[in-house]
Homo-oligomer: A and B are copies of this chain.
Amino acid sequence: MGDVICTVDVVLLTLRTAALHVLLHRREREPFQNVLALPGGYVHPHTDRDTRDAALRVLQDKLGIQSPYLEQLATFSGPARDPRGWSVSVAYYALVPENLIGNGKDCSGTTALCPVDDLRGLPFDHAQIVETAVHRVRNKSSYSSLPMHLCQAPFTLPQLQTVYEAVLGEPLNKVSFRRKMDELAVLEAIPGAFSSGNAHRPAQLYQLKPAWRHALSVTERGI
């Protein structure tokens, strides 16, 4: 059978200034020591229950982020993608609200939040992995509750619409957007909670129902 290197990589996405960003991590070791890359690592067969578990461990250990919304993306493989040898990387993508990533004052420079449409110098095949993830997220967002995981709760419906518009890259009709949100049936109004602090009248605040914080609701016809 020969030796195959088995790793996981995670594309952790968030929205900053209405643009999708990916969180990169500076590599501690060779190959590509000190280069910003997707957080990843070897599967640990003695302790990981599966590759998903390995991905969650990597997020926790390297970024201090606990069990966000996480889905398997695809598996990348071949003799050339990793200089250490023939390798398989099971890639995952995760979506988090920006506040979960910290306050952006990471002076040590071990992480960097980079816009997905302007990435340069990524090692391995990480550019291709990010591209695949962004394509998947944009596509899946057009008919599901996926973008809600980018939104810090509690949020108003106009705020949520802005998030969808940022991910999909197009303006949405307010009435049809609200109908779609009803159809998805994953939001709950927080009793007595309203937005304040601007000139408009207060808007109802919402959050994801607990059952939908790690699951996806889809519509037949698209957002």
The answer on a CB contact under 8 Å between B90 and A45 is no
A42, A50, A221, most chain B CB atoms within 10 A: A50
Binding site for B on A (CB under 8 A): 1-6, 42-46, 49-52, 72, 74-75, 77-79, 85-86, 88, 90, 220-222
Q: Contact check: which of B1, B3, B45, B85 meets A86 at CB < 8 Å? A: B45
Instruction: Please indicate the chain B residues that have their CB under 8 angstroms from the CB of A74 in the complex.
Output: 72
The answer on a CB contact under 8 Å between A44 and B1 is yes
The answer on a CB contact under 8 Å between B75 and A90 is yes
Q: Contact check: which of B46, B88, B220 meets A88 at CB < 8 Å? A: B88
Instruction: Please indicate the chain B residues that have their CB under 8 angstroms from the CB of A88 in the complex.
Output: 6, 43, 51, 88, 90
Number of chain copies forming the complex: 2
The answer on a CB contact under 8 Å between B4 and A4 is yes
Top 4 A-B pairs ranked by shortest CB distance? A45-B86, A4-B6, A1-B42, A50-B78
A80 to B92 Cα, complex, angstroms: 21
Instruction: Please indicate the chain B residues that have their CB under 8 angstroms from the CB of A90 in the complex.
Output: 75, 77, 88
A78 to B90 Cα, complex, angstroms: 13
A86 to B42 Cα, complex, angstroms: 13
The answer on a CB contact under 8 Å between A2 and B72 is no
Report the minimal beta-carbon distance from A48 to chain B, rounded to whole angstroms.
8
Given known A51-B88, A222-B221, contact A79–B45 (CB-CB < 8 A): yes
Chain B residue with the shortest CB-CB distance to A218: B139
Given known A1-B5, A3-B45, A222-B220, contact A51–B75 (CB-CB < 8 A): yes
Instruction: Please indicate the chain B residues that have their CB under 8 angstroms from the CB of A51 in the complex.
Output: 75, 77, 88
Report the minimal beta-carbon distance from A112 to chain B, rounded to whole angstroms.
26
Given known A4-B6, A5-B1, A6-B4, contact A85–B45 (CB-CB < 8 A): yes
